[in-house]
């Protein structure tokens, strides 16, 4: 079968690779249909590493995937051939303390697609555990299925932030994850949302998705905007999705007393926070690493029209042009949000 293989930094090609074969017990074999390109895929493409994860041998890219069940393995009763499915890309060990307690995103032995040394899903077929493969309702498309991955990050961020009806939520960064967080916050009943970004086209997208207060971060400050929009009180929940080293502090400053700041974006530089500024307001800090138990909520919200993820897709490439898609992703247009590869 064909797969998009990263051989070394900037050396990417659609290659013939061995077919994964028949599904084992508890597994399904899925014919991949849609894969979204994530910032992490582009980072591996350019640099061959993210932190301690280093590309040492050729690796298939892609972790935001949906497709059609082709075959089911022994004991699989929840899925049938022909089902359109979204697949959760991290396969945890299932037996460690973190896995058993439900925080399986923190499993040390997780095998996550397109994170060295594990191959990703930009391939014609993948084998995947049925337990991490979710049937999509008929109203959903395979592109929406692939978008359940970034939406799961937004769902997890809002869960970690305790977003509830009536909350004021400030979001720094309006890329895919910022928008996924915005959609989720609105679906969870946030009464007012404040979104900051440096790119006007992204702010415009956030406005279309329902953000009430938009902050051009080149000239304005999210903290001032949040304080102003709440009569001086501040935001109940702040979610940092930009990776900017000053983003966390800006949200601490934007927070209401007893507010909560959730750190999602990972930038190249360490983040500095004035802890006293957080302490005098008892601002809780929460961090996010991927997600756990978020796919069912993401699918439910999307199938009910509450999280219009399809609006995030700005560019599409056929699988045969996947290398061009990655070249484009390195220097996208200002309004580019999610690039989708159609297999």
Question: What 8-state DSSP symbol labels residue 53?
Answer: E
Specify the pairing of strand 192-197 against strand 168-172: parallel
**Residue 92 interacts with Zn ion (CB under 5 A): yes or no:** yes
Closest distance to Zn ion from the beta carbon of 228 (Å) = 33
Closest distance to Zn ion from the beta carbon of 337 (Å) = 13
Contacting Zn ion (CB under 5 A), which of 84, 99, 151, 241? Answer: 99
Cβ closer to Zn ion: 38 or 206?
Answer: 38
Cβ closer to Zn ion: 67 or 92?
Answer: 92
Contacting Zn ion (CB under 5 A), which of 32, 38, 168, 288? Answer: 38
**Residue 266 interacts with Zn ion (CB under 5 A): yes or no:** no
Residue 158: closest CA among 136, 140, 178: 178
Residues whose CB is less than 8 angstroms from the CB of residue 17 and which lie 6 or more positions away in sequence, other chains included: 1, 2, 3, 5, 60, 123
Residue 61: closest CA among 75, 47, 41: 41
Q: What are phi and psi of 203, to 5 degrees?
A: -65, -40
Strands (E), the chain: 2-8, 11-16, 27-37, 49-50, 53-54, 59-60, 64-72, 84-87, 90-91, 111-112, 125-129, 133-135, 168-172, 192-197, 213-216, 235-240, 255-263, 284-287, 313-318, 338-342
Q: In this chain, which stretch among 69-77, 84-92, 182-190, 302-310 interacts with Zn ion, using CB under 5 A?
A: 84-92
Q: In this chain, which stretch among 38-46, 127-135, 277-285, 323-331 interacts with Zn ion, using CB under 5 A?
A: 38-46
With beta carbons less than 8 A apart as the criterion, state whether 171 and 91 touch. Answer: no
What is the CA 260 to chain-centroid distance, rounded? 21
Cβ closer to Zn ion: 116 or 259?
Answer: 116
Cβ closer to Zn ion: 85 or 190?
Answer: 85
Cβ closer to Zn ion: 39 or 162?
Answer: 39
**Residue 107 interacts with Zn ion (CB under 5 A): yes or no:** yes
Number of residues that bind Zn ion (CB under 5 A): 6
Q: In this chain, which stretch among 25-33, 66-74, 101-109, 198-206 interacts with Zn ion, using CB under 5 A?
A: 101-109
* Helix intervals (H) in the chain: 39-47, 97-100, 142-146, 148-161, 176-187, 200-209, 222-229, 247-254, 275-279, 295-303, 322-330
Cβ closer to Zn ion: 99 or 313?
Answer: 99
Contacting Zn ion (CB under 5 A), which of 1, 50, 93, 266? Answer: 93
Up-side HSE of residue 100: CA atoms within 13 Å toward CB?
A: 3
Residues whose CB is less than 8 angstroms from the CB of residue 231 and which lie 6 or more positions away in sequence, other chains included: none
Q: In this chain, which stretch among 78-86, 98-106, 167-175, 309-317 interacts with Zn ion, using CB under 5 A?
A: 98-106
Cβ closer to Zn ion: 113 or 319?
Answer: 113
**Residue 255 interacts with Zn ion (CB under 5 A): yes or no:** no
User: Which residues inside 191-250 make contact with Zn ion, applying CB under 5 A?
Assistant: none
Cβ closer to Zn ion: 18 or 108?
Answer: 108
**Residue 48 interacts with Zn ion (CB under 5 A): yes or no:** no
Contacting Zn ion (CB under 5 A), which of 96, 201, 266, 286? Answer: 96
Q: Rounded CA gap, 34 and 267, in Å?
A: 27
* Positions in the binding site for Zn ion (CB under 5 A): 38, 92-93, 96, 99, 107
């Amino acid at each position: 079968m064909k797969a998009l293989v990263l051989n070394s930094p900037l050396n990417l090609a659609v290659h013939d690779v061995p077919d994964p074969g028949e599904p084992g017990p508890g597994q399904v074999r899925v014919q991949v249909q849609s894969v979204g390109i994530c910032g992490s895929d582009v980072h591996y493409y350019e640099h061959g590493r993210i932190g301690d994860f280093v590309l040492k041998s050729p690796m298939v890219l892609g972790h935001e995937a949906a497709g059609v069940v082709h075959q089911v393995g022994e004991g699989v009763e929840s899925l049938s051939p022909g089902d359109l499915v979204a697949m959760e890309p991290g396969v945890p060990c299932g037996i460690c303390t973190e896995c058993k307690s439900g925080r399986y995103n923190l499993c040390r032995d997780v095998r996550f697609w397109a994170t060295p040394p594990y191959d990703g899903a930009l391939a014609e077929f993948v084998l995947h555990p049925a337990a991490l493969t979710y049937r999509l309702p008929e109203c959903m498309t395979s592109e929406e299925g692939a978008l359940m991955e970034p939406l799961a990050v937004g769902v997890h961020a809002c869960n970690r932030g305790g977003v509830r009806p009536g909350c004021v939520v400030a979001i720094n960064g309006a890329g895919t994850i910022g928008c996924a967080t915005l959609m989720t916050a609105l679906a969870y009943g946030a009464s007012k949302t404040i979104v900051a970004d440096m790119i006007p086209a992204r702010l415009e997208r956030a406005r279309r998705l329902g953000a009430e207060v938009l902050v051009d971060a080149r000239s304005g400050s999210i903290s001032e905007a949040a304080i102003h929009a709440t009569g001086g009180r501040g935001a109940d929940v702040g979610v940092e999705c930009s990776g900017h080293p000053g983003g966390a502090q800006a949200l601490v400053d934007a927070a209401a007393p007893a507010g909560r700041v959730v750190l999602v974006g990972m930038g190249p530089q360490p983040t500095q926070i004035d802890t006293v500024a957080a302490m005098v307001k008892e601002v809780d800090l929460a961090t996010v690493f991927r997600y756990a138990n978020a796919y069912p909520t993401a699918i439910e919200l999307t199938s009910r029209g509450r999280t219009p993820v399809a609006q995030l897709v700005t560019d599409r490439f056929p699988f045969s042009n996947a290398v061009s898609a990655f070249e484009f992703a390195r220097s996208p247009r200002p309004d580019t949000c999610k690039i989708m590869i159609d297999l």
